[in-house]
Homo-oligomer: A and B are copies of this chain.
Amino acid sequence: MPIKVAFIGAGSVGFCRRLFRDLLAVPEFADANFALTDINKPNLDMVAQLCRKDIRNNNLPARIVASTLDRRRALDGADYVINCTRIGGLEAFKLDIDIPLKYGVDQCVGDTLCIGGIMYGQRNIPCVLDFCKDIREVAARDALFLNYANPNAMNTWAAIEYGKVRTVGLCHGVEGGWWQIANVLGAKDKKEVDIICAGINHQTWYVRILYKGRLVTGEELLRAFERHPRFSQTEKVRIDVLRRFGYYSTESNGHLSEYVPWYRKRPKEIKKWIDLSSWINGETGGYLRVCTEGRNWFNTDFPRWLKAHDKPVGPGDRSGEHGSHIIEGLETGRRYRGHFNVRNNGCISNLPDDCIVEVPGYVDRNGISIPRVGELPLACAATLSASVNVQRMAVQAGVAGDVTLLKQAVLHDPLTAAVCDPEEIWQMVDEMLVAQGTWLPQYKREIPKAAKRLDEVKRKGLYKGTRKWKGAARLHVRTVGEMRKNAAAQRRNAAAADKAAEQRARDAKKR
């Protein structure tokens, strides 16, 4: 019997179509059934048209059995459910970036940790729990939930602990850095480099690197990065962290800079640490800008996509995303090794059991096997521990609608804590709750109280969110007209839902 794969948030053209084509590339899945669901009908329709075109052009027996706003219908009997939603869309995302700026917190991505990521988690968790309820009730018994949506660790945590669904969080985060490491070491192919990564999503560390079977030390890697002409410019935060910790982080320069207290707390110095050649290197609200441009461009460019001559699906076209490989491993027994987000359960012995870690895993017909990694270097563990504590509070707050716990989560966020004082944090969270109320059903009773508190501080002249700026390194959001002038680059950009791939693509071009 063919497998059934359902996509939630299928209107996300980048992820959904990419994973869809990856699955079609597996011979055993040529006849698979797919179901697409989203809350945005136009986006869903566009993506469904592109997917149908892929089936048709490749002459496959696969079927889109549903493309529907009715999520339960899409999930009905599904063996695999893939989450690629962006809850609140760009509208809410903009608030995640702009309100914190008023309190001095300057984020680059803001979708994983820091105040933006925490609030994004609050919007996601009620949805994730709804998805899980549907999966438990209508999907196949023991269906697997593949979560691509950020904040990945929080969503996966909620799905496992509260949604009670078998879940794995997926991210290609380790791929980009692996490619960079191979590059700086002078490898001809990533395969010459063996890596073990361990940590939490977007803060994973290359804890063991073998180059042609030889162990590479942190010292050696640092020198290699420092002398690399481009990375020494674009990866200043990552290289500084490597200098201090002895380990390279999987995370991009911009993302990493917002997870730790050291690099973005002094507005005047932010630019010292980042590079504006690509948004992912640290641009204020960089991901928001590129997503906004991409979404607008896709709407404009869609007719062209529909007509384009695409590569045939198949091994040559398959991406590095783990999703299709996991399903392939489980169904066919072809063994796969990747890095997955799972409940820790002692895998990393110096992180708590209940947190979601990103660690190596093997997939075959025996399931997703997560080997024990053991102890992380102390500095890595200390940094992760701070984030894990924030995530735990944020997840529990998001599940229970507990405003105090939510504020305590933000209070303990390393960058926010380095920038704000407690009263500023309390006001900032109130302001965000009020602004994002539409997407926060669990805080329904609390939001009017937050609004009242805000009014009161304003009335008393004690309001703190008074900084007027666009951040230390903000770029202009290009209009479709502007983008049209450089259409080729834009097409690539629009396709790049993949943050790291985007950079690798740029890198590849420049070499």
Interface residues of A (CB under 8 A from B): 194-196, 208, 210, 213, 240, 243-246, 261-263, 265-266, 269, 331, 333, 335, 337, 345-347, 349-350, 352, 360-362, 364-367, 369-372, 378-379, 381-383, 385-386, 389-390, 392-393, 396, 404-405, 407-408, 411-412, 414, 417-418, 420-422, 426
A386 contacts across to B, CB distance below 8 A: 382, 385-386, 389, 412
Complex contact B408–A244 (CB within 8 A): yes
A261 contacts across to B, CB distance below 8 A: 261, 417-418
Task: Tell whether A372 pairs with B396 under 8 Å between CB atoms, given A213-B365, A244-B408, A386-B386.
Answer: no
In whole angstroms, what is the CA distance A390 to B385 when docked?
Answer: 11
Instruction: Please name the 5 residue pairs, one residue from A and one from B, whose CB atoms are nearest each other, closest first.
Output: A369-B371, A382-B389, A379-B408, A418-B418, A346-B346
Q: Given B194, B372, B379, B393, which contacts A366 in the complex, CB threshold below 8 Å?
A: B194
In whole angstroms, what is the CA distance A389 to B392 when docked?
Answer: 18
Give the Cβ gap from A189 to chain B, nearest Cβ, in Å: 13
Question: Could you pull out 8 A-B pairs where Cβ atoms are within 8 angstroms?
Answer: A208-B366, A244-B426, A262-B422, A269-B421, A346-B372, A347-B372, A378-B393, A386-B389
In whole angstroms, what is the CA distance A337 to B335 when docked?
Answer: 10
Q: Which residue of B lies closest to A416 (CB)?
A: B261
Give the Cβ gap from A448 to chain B, nearest Cβ, in Å: 20
Task: Tell whether A383 pairs with B360 under 8 Å between CB atoms, given A262-B417, A345-B372, A389-B378.
Answer: no
Complex contact A365–B210 (CB within 8 A): yes
Oligomer copy total: 4
A352 contacts across to B, CB distance below 8 A: 350
Complex contact A411–B244 (CB within 8 A): yes
In whole angstroms, what is the CA distance A194 to B349 when docked?
Answer: 29
Q: Which residue of B lies closest to A194 (CB)?
A: B365
A347 contacts across to B, CB distance below 8 A: 372
A417 contacts across to B, CB distance below 8 A: 261-262, 414, 418
In whole angstroms, what is the CA distance A417 to B261 when docked?
Answer: 6
Q: Which residue of B lies closest to A392 (CB)?
A: B378
Q: Which residue of B lies closest to A382 (CB)?
A: B389
In whole angstroms, what is the CA distance A449 to B244 when docked?
Answer: 17
Complex contact B246–A404 (CB within 8 A): yes
The listed residue with most B CB atoms (<10 A of its CB), out of A350, A372, A385, A414, is A372
In whole angstroms, what is the CA distance A420 to B426 when docked?
Answer: 24
In whole angstroms, what is the CA distance A261 to B195 when docked?
Answer: 35
Task: Tell whether A196 pairs with B345 under 8 Å between CB atoms, given A417-B262, A421-B263.
Answer: no
Q: Which residue of B lies closest to A193 (CB)?
A: B365
Complex contact A378–B213 (CB within 8 A): no
A213 contacts across to B, CB distance below 8 A: 331, 333, 365
Q: Which residue of B lies closest to A373 (CB)?
A: B369
The listed residue with most B CB atoms (<10 A of its CB), out of A265, A331, A345, A407, is A265
A345 contacts across to B, CB distance below 8 A: 346, 349, 372
Task: Tell whether A360 pairs with B366 under 8 Å between CB atoms, given A261-B418, A372-B347, A417-B262.
Answer: yes
Q: Which residue of B lies closest to A350 (CB)?
A: B352
Q: Which residue of B lies closest to A273 (CB)?
A: B421
Q: Given B365, B371, B405, B407, which contacts A370 in the complex, CB threshold below 8 Å?
A: B371
Task: Tell whether A381 pairs with B389 under 8 Å between CB atoms, given A263-B421, A265-B418, A366-B196.
Answer: yes
In whole angstroms, what is the CA distance A417 to B416 when docked?
Answer: 12
A210-B366, A262-B420, A417-B418 provided; 14 other pairs, C-beta below 8 A?
A: A210-B365, A262-B411, A265-B418, A337-B364, A345-B346, A345-B349, A361-B371, A362-B362, A369-B372, A378-B408, A381-B389, A383-B412, A386-B389, A386-B412
Q: Which residue of B lies closest to A396 (CB)?
A: B378
Q: Given B195, B210, B407, which contacts A244 in the complex, CB threshold below 8 Å?
A: B407
A331 contacts across to B, CB distance below 8 A: 213
